[in-house]
């Protein structure tokens, strides 16, 4: 099969890899219908996270089950399935508590136990604990939105949930990537009265408004803080979604939070220091982390299938898998919000 392999900074290649096969009773082999490039994939692509040796990459995909192990019960060959961005057993205490990204037997895609997601097929263990099947094979028009449930929509939802967004709130979303935009959608759906998106890019601003943003702030740093405070009569936001993971984004998130607010963070932290003094002095909380998308998947899938949300709009570029290197370049250069790949 063909699969994407990252060799180092700015070096991703589509290569021939061994065809997957069932190794254990809980395994499944999925034929990929669509996959995509994640903002977190850009960290190793840009060299921020060192690549010590070539490895398969990609952790978001949907597809058709080809084969299952003898003990798999929840999916069967022919099912259309959504794969959350990590493999979880579904039975450990953390999984049962709804935090599958902290599974005691966690498996990452692109490891010895699971293929990378940006390929033609993926073999993974713990099929029952990981994969979620749709009631029937969906129309192709729904594939982009269902694909977002493997990561970005669930992650945006986790940011809003962690920030304790409730009806009537004023919410600020820091970050205008696919996760931030899905955070706007999540906050709006949770009943926020005002959703302020921090974005400097017109296409992303337009989509933020489609997803429910009531206000757009294009400034950054101190200017962004001042703009939010002006909008809120000097009080700040009831909830803040931090969807980037940099020192500047975290600083801004805390600066725009009102006293007693919570910052929900889902951006993978790089060089971030938490302002514990601000947290103590102003009673601002911090909650979040790696989103347990598996926990949110059933409800979000029902919302997509019912036509109540359409998060697939974050895909503004679709490429054949053969052009995966161009997809990475487009996202790195911010020519695309998020790239969908078709094998």
Q: Of all residues in the chain, what percent carry a pLDDT higher than 70? A: 100
**Sequence-separated (6 or more) residues with CB below 8 Å from residue 132:** 81, 82, 84, 294, 297, 298, 301
Our count of domains for the chain comes to 2
Once rounded to an integer, what is the mean pLDDT over residues 321-332? 98
252 and 310 belong to one structural domain:
no
Residues 105, 211, single domain; the answer is no
Cα–Cα distances in angstroms (integers) from residue 291 to residues 274, 278, 318, in the given order: 19, 25, 25
Q: Give me the CATH number covering residue 268.
A: 3.40.50.720
Predicted pLDDT at 172 = 98
- Write down the pLDDT at residue 294: 98
Integer Cα distance of 123 and 67 in angstroms: 9
CATH number assigned to the domain comprising residue 40 = 3.90.180.10
Same-domain check for residues 67 and 124 = yes
pLDDT tens, position by position, 261-311:
999 999 999 999 999 999 999 999 999 999 999 999 999 999 999 999 999
Region 188-196 average pLDDT: 98
Q: What domain range is 108 assigned to? A: 2-151+292-341
Residues 280 and 336 in one domain: no
The 3-state DSSP composition of the chain as helix, strand, coil percent (nearest 5) reads 35, 25, 40
Residue where a domain stops, chosen among 246, 268, 288 = 288
Q: Are 174 and 277 within one domain?
A: yes
What pLDDT score was predicted for residue 254? 97
Summarised one tens digit per residue, pLDDT across range 19-36 is 999 999 999 999 999 999
The number of helices, as runs of H, and strands, as runs of E, in the chain is 12, 16
Residue ending a domain, among 262, 288, 314, is 288
- DSSP-assigned letter for residue 28: E
Q: Are residues 187 and 230 in the same domain?
A: yes
* Residue that finishes a domain, picked among 288, 305, 326: 288
Mean of pLDDT values over 320-332: 98
């Amino acid at each position: 099969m063909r699969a994407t392999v990252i060799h180092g900074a700015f070096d991703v290649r589509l290569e021939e890899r061994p065809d997957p096969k069932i190794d254990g009773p809980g395994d499944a082999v999925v034929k990929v219908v669509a996959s995509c490039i994640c903002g977190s994939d850009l960290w190793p692509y840009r060299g921020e996270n060192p690549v010590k040796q070539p490895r398969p990459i990609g952790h978001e995909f949907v597809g058709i089950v080809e084969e299952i192990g003898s003990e798999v019960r929840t999916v069967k060959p022919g099912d259309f399935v959504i794969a959350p961005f990590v493999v979880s057993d579904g039975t450990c205490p953390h999984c049962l508590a709804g935090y599958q990204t902290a599974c005691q037997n966690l498996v990452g895609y692109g490891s010895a136990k699971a293929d990378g997601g940006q390929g033609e097929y993926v073999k993974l263990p713990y099929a029952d604990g990981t994969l979620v099947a749709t009631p029937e094979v969906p129309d192709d028009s729904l594939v982009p939105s269902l694909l977002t449930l493997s990561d970005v929509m669930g992650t945006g939802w986790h940011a809003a949930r962690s920030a304790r967004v409730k009806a009537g709130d004023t919410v600020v979303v820091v970050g205008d990537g696919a996760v931030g935009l899905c955070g706007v959608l999540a906050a709006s759906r949770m009943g926020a009265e005002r959703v302020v998106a921090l974005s400097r890019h017109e296409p992303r601003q337009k989509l933020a408004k489609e997803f429910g943003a009531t206000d757009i702030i294009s400034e950054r740093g101190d200017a962004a803080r001042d703009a939010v405070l002006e909008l809120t009569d000097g009080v700040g936001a009831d909830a803040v979604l931090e969807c980037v993971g940099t020192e500047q984004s975290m600083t801004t998130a805390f600066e725009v939070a009102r006293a007693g607010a919570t910052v929900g963070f889902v951006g993978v932290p790089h060089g971030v220091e938490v302002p514990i003094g601000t947290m103590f002095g102003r009673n601002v909380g911090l909650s979040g982390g790696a989103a347990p998308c598996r926990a949110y998947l059933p409800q979000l899938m029902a919302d997509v299938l019912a036509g109540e949300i359409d998060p697939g709009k974050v895909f503004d570029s679709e490429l054949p898998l053969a052009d995966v290197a161009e997809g990475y370049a487009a996202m790195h250069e911010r020519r695309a919000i998020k790239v969908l790949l078709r094998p």
